[in-house]
Amino acid sequence: MRTILLVLIVFTCFSCQKLEKITMPDFEVELSKQNYHVGDTVLFNFKGDADVISVYTGEVGHNYDSINGRMMSSKFNVIFESHALDGTQRDQIYIYLLKEFNGDYSMAGVDAARPSMIELNDRLRTATPDDNRQWISSGYGDITEYLDMSEPSTIYFAVRHLVRNQNVYGTGNLNRVRNFKLFAINELDKEETVFSQAVDNWTLFSSANKMPGRASLDATNPPQMTLRNSTGASYVTETTEDWVISNPIQITPVVDAGPDRAIGVKSMANAMPKTYTKIYNKAGDYKVVFKAINQSAAGRKEVLREVNIHVAP
């Protein structure tokens, strides 16, 4: 009986060692061609076998060269809504980017910052009397070109409400601005709100010749700026300004998006596929890396297989 038990123990140990022996995956990838166009189906042909297969397609988020982390830059877009009513003047609302504002929320502070102000009206629409009192979207205005993309920085936005001599240029409008937002959009088209309009993150002030009480920051839903013209004989001939300047806004141009990830192709439970297909929606040169793994309780062995493709528009 003791002899039989010893033989069983030896056989069991030998079987475990045999089961746990790991071999390097015998795995190869081939392409029928290397040049494609956007929208084509790229066919990768497999030879051999492996327990697990994954692929880095070379796209942002799935690039083998960024498996230790990706520093991802963003572009920055502004958007808001405005409307104009009860007047005839045009070109009353101006939007500015301020990079050298000293924090003096007064006309003196505005005068000091004027030389460095960047007007954004060439990329943002504002409402006019022709819009029949409707709320008008500005559309997305890309301000990335004006920002320091090499390091974090601080910016401000300013909304200027200009009313010219109403006896000459006609009655000024009641202008409103709401839903003023700044978005950061990264290389994966993921959108993050950097700044969003609220009553307490803007400061309003006016030129000394403006009729008091004609401009306000309203805690409506959503919050809005209400910018009216002056009335009365002692005011209507004046050219007046209202300024609404934001709190400081921190810009982080580059963020650590974490490591790029592989896409699963085969698990241990699946039969070995003969092919893998991929459609690329952007033109470019792609380094495609397949990782093949054999693994067990004793450990794992893996091989990488790289192919390069060119995708034309």
Q: Do residues 216 and 103 lie in contact, with contact meaning Cβ atoms separated by under 8 Å?
A: no
Which residue has 């959108």 as its token pair? Answer: 191
Share the mean pLDDT of the chain. 92
Q: Do residues 181 and 264 both lie within one domain?
A: no
SS (H, E, C) 221-282: CCCEEEECCCCCCCCCCCCEEEEEEECCEEECCEEECCCCCCEEEECCCCCCCCEEEEECCC
What's the number of CA atoms in the CB half-sphere (13 Å) around residue 71?
6
Q: Do residues 97 and 216 both lie within one domain?
A: yes
Q: Do residues 246 and 187 both lie within one domain?
A: yes
Q: Do residues 280 and 217 both lie within one domain?
A: no
> Looking at 209, 238, 255, which one is the last position of a domain?
255
What does the pLDDT look like over 133-178, one tens digit per residue? 999 999 999 999 999 999 999 999 999 999 999 999 999 999 999 9
Instruction: Report if residue 136 sits inside a domain.
Output: yes
Separation between Cα atoms, residue 243 and residue 144, nearest integer Å: 24
Q: Do residues 161 and 302 both lie within one domain?
A: no
Length of the chain: 313
- Stretch 291-302: mean pLDDT, rounded? 92
pLDDT at position 138 is 98
Instruction: Report if residue 137 sits inside a domain.
Output: yes
Q: How confident is the model at residue 2 (pLDDT cuts 50, 70, 90)?
A: low
Q: Do residues 110 and 98 both lie within one domain?
A: yes
What does the pLDDT look like over 169-221, one tens digit per residue? 999 999 999 999 999 999 888 899 999 999 999 999 999 999 999 999 999 99
**Is residue 27's pLDDT more than 50?**
yes
Instruction: Report if residue 16 sits inside a domain.
Output: no
Instruction: Report if residue 229 sits inside a domain.
Output: yes
How is 130-168 classified by DSSP, letter by letter? GGTT--EE---EE-GGGS--SS-EEEEEEEEEEE--HHH
- Stretch 27-39: mean pLDDT, rounded? 95
Separation between Cα atoms, residue 253 and residue 154, nearest integer Å: 11
Q: Do residues 79 and 141 both lie within one domain?
A: yes
> Looking at 212, 229, 255, which one is the last position of a domain?
255
Instruction: Report if residue 305 sits inside a domain.
Output: yes
Q: Which residues contact 118 (CB under 8 A, 6 or more apart)?
A: 96, 97, 98, 99, 146
Q: Which phi and psi (to 5°) does residue 119 adopt? A: -75, 135
Total domains present in the chain: 2
Instruction: Report if residue 7 sits inside a domain.
Output: no
69-to-149, 192, 222, 256, 308 alpha-carbon distances in Å: 19, 20, 39, 7, 22
pLDDT at position 255 is 83
**Domain that residue 228 falls in:** 72-255
Q: Do residues 120 and 202 both lie within one domain?
A: yes
User: In the structure encoding, which two tokens stand for residue 280, read together?
Assistant: 């690329």
pLDDT at position 14 is 40
CATH label of the domain that carries residue 277:
2.60.40.10
**Is residue 7's pLDDT more than 60?**
no
Residue type, 153: S
Q: Do residues 102 and 59 both lie within one domain?
A: no
What does the pLDDT look like over 73-119, one tens digit per residue? 999 999 999 999 999 999 999 999 999 999 999 999 999 999 999 99
Give the predicted TM-score (pTM) of the model: 0.75
**Is residue 246's pLDDT more than 50?**
yes
- Torsion over CA of 83, 88, 91 and 96, rounded to 10 degrees? -40
Measured from the Cβ of residue 60, the count of other Cβ atoms closer than 10 Å reads: 16
Residue type, 283: A
Instruction: Report if residue 210 sits inside a domain.
Output: yes
Q: Do residues 81 and 185 both lie within one domain?
A: yes
Instruction: Report if residue 3 sits inside a domain.
Output: no
**Is residue 26's pLDDT more than 70?**
yes
pLDDT at position 9 is 42
Q: Do residues 172 and 232 both lie within one domain?
A: yes
pLDDT at position 298 is 81
> Looking at 214, 229, 255, which one is the last position of a domain?
255
Q: Do residues 80 and 160 both lie within one domain?
A: yes
